[in-house]
Amino acid sequence: MYRRENNSPMPKSILAVAAILAILGIGSWIYQLIVGMQVTGLDNNVVWGLYIAFFFVVIGGGAALLAIVGISEFKNILSPDSKSRILLLSITTFIGGGILITIDLGNPIQVFRIATSFKFQSLLVWDFWLLALCFFLALFYLVKVRKDNSGGKVYGLISIAAALFLIVAESFLLSSMLGHHLWESGMTLISFLISAAVVGSAFILLLMPDNRTVRNILLATLVFSLIATLAEVFTGALTGNPETKTEMMLLLSGQGALYFWGQVLIGLILPLFLLLKSYKPIAIALLSIFGTLMGKVWLLALGQWVQGSLVYIPSLPELITIIGTSGIGVLLYGVLVKAFEPKASPKAEQTKMSVA
């Protein structure tokens, strides 16, 4: 039976919807630029919110994609076309990440300064350069793959390393912030790695809905994620210091409950259930990404929560901007796919399928 690999150009209807969302998102961002970031749900206590959470999700996923392509140099799990697609998606996420960061800045006109400061004391500068590195690696990788069907083992290794560094840099970025005990432990890095794996697998599942290996990988990462999340939250709630306890209780039954249970029930258990019972790949992938986003939102919201205040809730403009950015991502991917029309023959496809 012929198994769909979804490497046809994106349907126009999806692109149209994405375009509308993108326009809405850009409008919302312009509104934010004019009125100021008071339109967000952020305040002087909670300064990083949905934009950064989504940035972590997307960049983590993108890094995972790059790493998987790198891994494929050692284990032939991907066809050259799949590699191209995955790299295209990876590039899209890096660009999307850049957009998200820019949206999150209060004074984006000065954003170039990150690139010109060379201030490597700052993890943010590391983050920027690693992101740039990954972007260019993915780009050159794409060129290489299109030319030679492969990047070679060295290039693969470099890509894996760069992707890992990017994820580590991001988790360190949080962990290095003084006075946020929720972020201090190694759990942050673990959760960043697991999220990257979940989102990466989900992304690939979107590209290869019928790929059983991808399904199994996602299943495994979701299980890991569930264990890690429950372990972190319940450990904190049952044995943590009073501060951690309070925060975890907020997550379990307080104002943060929506995020936590949203992640656990909708973002972890539901896709797991769907994976095992009735297979709906697109839904599973999107739910997994959603769950990871929820996880990042509560990590940020509770990490910055102060006694006596309300737990962060994103504002409508923030939500619209985020959805719009996703639209831009879809649109961008669609354009990129069109630009890099696959040259692969049905035969090559068959070969890859058999591997799967």
Partner 1 sequence: MRYGMILDLKRCYGCNACTVICKQKNGTPKGVFWAKVYATEVGKYPQARREYLPTLCMHCANAPCVSVCPTGASYKREDGIVLVDESKCIGCRSCMLSCPYEARYFDFGAEASYFPGKEANPYEVAQASKRKKGTVNKCTLCVDRIDEGEIPACAQVCPTQARIFGDLESTELQKLIISRNGYQEKSVVGTDPSVYYLPR
Binding mask 117-156 for partner 1 (x = CB under 8 A): x-x-xxxxx--x----------------------------
User: Contacting partner 1 (CB under 8 A), which of 6, 10, 27, 43?
Assistant: 43
Q: Among 21-29, 99-107, 135-143, 335-343, which window interacts with partner 1 (CB under 8 A)?
A: 99-107
Residues 5-24 that bind partner 1 (CB under 8 A): none
Residues 291-350 that bind partner 1 (CB under 8 A): 304, 306
3-class DSSP string for 207-231? HCCCCHHHHHHHHHHHHHHHHHHHH
Alpha carbon separation from 294 to 262, 263, 264 (Å, rounded): 7, 5, 9
User: Contacting partner 1 (CB under 8 A), which of 2, 8, 12, 110?
Assistant: 110
CA dihedral 300, 304, 308, 310 (to 10 degrees): -30
Q: Among 9-17, 37-45, 257-265, 275-283, which window interacts with partner 1 (CB under 8 A)?
A: 37-45
Residues 180-199 that bind partner 1 (CB under 8 A): 180
- For 226, the token pair is 């569930």
Minimum distance, C-beta of residue 241 to partner 1, in the bound complex (Å): 14
Residue where the block lists tokens 């350069």 = 129
What DSSP designation does 162 have? H
Task: Return d(Cα 82, Cα 287) in angstroms, integer.
Answer: 23
Alpha carbon separation from 78 to 3, 58, 61, 75, 352 (Å, rounded): 15, 22, 17, 8, 7
User: Contacting partner 1 (CB under 8 A), which of 36, 239, 310, 350?
Assistant: 36
CA within 13 Å, CB half, 144: 19
Q: Which is nearer to partner 1, 48 or 192 (CB)?
A: 48
Q: CB of 339 within 8 A of CB of 19?
A: no
User: Contacting partner 1 (CB under 8 A), which of 8, 13, 44, 354?
Assistant: 44
Q: Is 165 in the site for partner 1 (CB under 8 A)?
A: no
User: Contacting partner 1 (CB under 8 A), which of 9, 23, 152, 176?
Assistant: 176
Q: Which is nearer to partner 1, 125 or 143 (CB)?
A: 125
Q: Which amino acid is at 226?
A: L
Return residues touching partner 1 (CB under 8 A): 35-38, 40, 42-45, 47-48, 101, 104-108, 110-111, 113-114, 117, 119, 121-125, 128, 173, 176-180, 304, 306
